[in-house]
Chains A and B, each alone.
Chain A
Amino acid sequence: MKKKILVATLSILITAVIGVWFFVFYKPTHFKRDVADEKGISISAPDLVKAFQENETAANTTYLDKSVEIKGEIVEAKPDQSGLTMLTLKSNDAMAGVLCTLKSADPTLKPGQTITVKGICTGFLSDVVLKEAIIVK
């Protein structure tokens, strides 16, 4: 009986220690945010660009650091310095678009294709910028 209690206490203790270690030390530093696991805010590329052009501060509040799922037409697809694919999606303004850097290279993507891409919105320069993006469709 005493032995049983000891074993039970010990296993609870070990689980607690591992739990604390995992959630306090391991997970916050090693866990990588992955857009694939997040439900993105759905919006079209022209609407997203328009939102930032009309009121950047308000758009930042809505989209900054959020997962955004965007449907749009590719106007440019090319590799960046690290070889990752960079896509520019068309908006209604020829001078601005949505710039997405994909998590992994995809040389099959070509201008003219309409795709849905999900990534983390980092803000607005000459384009709205998404990082760590993935192709949804």
Chain B
Amino acid sequence: MLKHIIIALFLMGAINTTTTAQNLHSTKAAKIRFFSSLAAEDIEATNSQAVSKLDTKTGAINFIVLIKGFVFENELMQKHFNEEYMESTKFPKSEFKGLITNLSAINFSKNGSYPAIVSGSLSIRGISQPVKATGSIIVANGKISVKSIFKIKVVDFGITGSDIGKSIANELEITVTSQYD
């Protein structure tokens, strides 16, 4: 009898874990691109190895990315980005932790594209700043993907230098695309 109860409890536990796991979606290949556009010069870099986790039950969404993983077309820019602006040896990671604030408007079990609002905190160079972004969540046959474009001010993250405002824009456009496994 006791044995049966233990097995039943174990099974319940197992079922419970599976339902929790279904809320959690993750990827190791989220893509993050930033773009600086000025009359003098366009600068862009992409990192396609960001780790992202999405909890469809709580609306928690986070991203973590390695600064040295950003690839530029121009090798010298990549060097300056890492050494002068981002100090990527000292601050190797950047992280975003947020919550989908209009979670009730998104039906993760029905195909469609849903507008989403995310607010959270973005940390770059060890400095955290509140960020609010809008984007869309696309549900297609159980697969979830996320896309958002938002802007950040470089000065908010203590990034300074004589080139800011001249060849590097004061505001950078960040594009995030993430397809969850």
Using a CB–CB distance below 8 Å, which chain A residues touch chain B? 28-33, 60, 64-65, 80-82, 84, 86, 88, 99, 101, 120, 122-127, 129, 131-132
A81 touches B179 (CB 8 A): yes
B177 touches A129 (CB 8 A): no
Chain B: interface secondary structure?
strand
A99 touches B49 (CB 8 A): yes
Instruction: Give the bracket for the number of chain B residues in contact with chain A.
Output: 20 to 34
A131 touches B29 (CB 8 A): no
Q: A64-B89, A86-B29, A131-B69 are in contact. Are A126 and B51 (CB under 8 A)?
A: yes
B179 touches A125 (CB 8 A): no
Using a CB–CB distance below 8 Å, which chain B residues touch chain A? 28-29, 31, 48-49, 51, 64, 66, 68-69, 71, 74-77, 79, 82, 89, 92-93, 177, 179
Q: Pick from B28, B71, B75: contact of A30, CB below 8 A.
A: B75
- Tally of A-B Cβ pairs under 8 angstroms: 66
Q: A64-B89, A81-B29, A126-B28 are in contact. Are A28 and B71 (CB under 8 A)?
A: no
Chain B residue nearest in CB terms to A79: B29
Chain A: interface secondary structure?
mixed
Q: A28-B76, A30-B75, A131-B69 are in contact. Are A101 and B89 (CB under 8 A)?
A: no
A99 to B123, CA, bound (A): 23
Q: Pick from A28, A60, A129: contact of B49, CB below 8 A.
A: A129
With a cutoff of 8 Å between Cβ atoms, the chain A residues found around residue B69 in the complex are 122-123, 129, 131
A59 to B89, CA, bound (A): 12
A80 touches B68 (CB 8 A): no
Q: A84-B48, A86-B28 are in contact. Are A122 and B66 (CB under 8 A)?
A: yes
State the Cβ distance, B149 to closest chain A Cβ, in Å. Answer: 16
Q: Pick from A86, A101, A123, A132: contact of B92, CB below 8 A.
A: A123
With a cutoff of 8 Å between Cβ atoms, the chain B residues found around residue A64 in the complex are 68, 89, 92
Q: Pick from B31, B71, B89: contact of A131, CB below 8 A.
A: B71
A126 to B71, CA, bound (A): 20
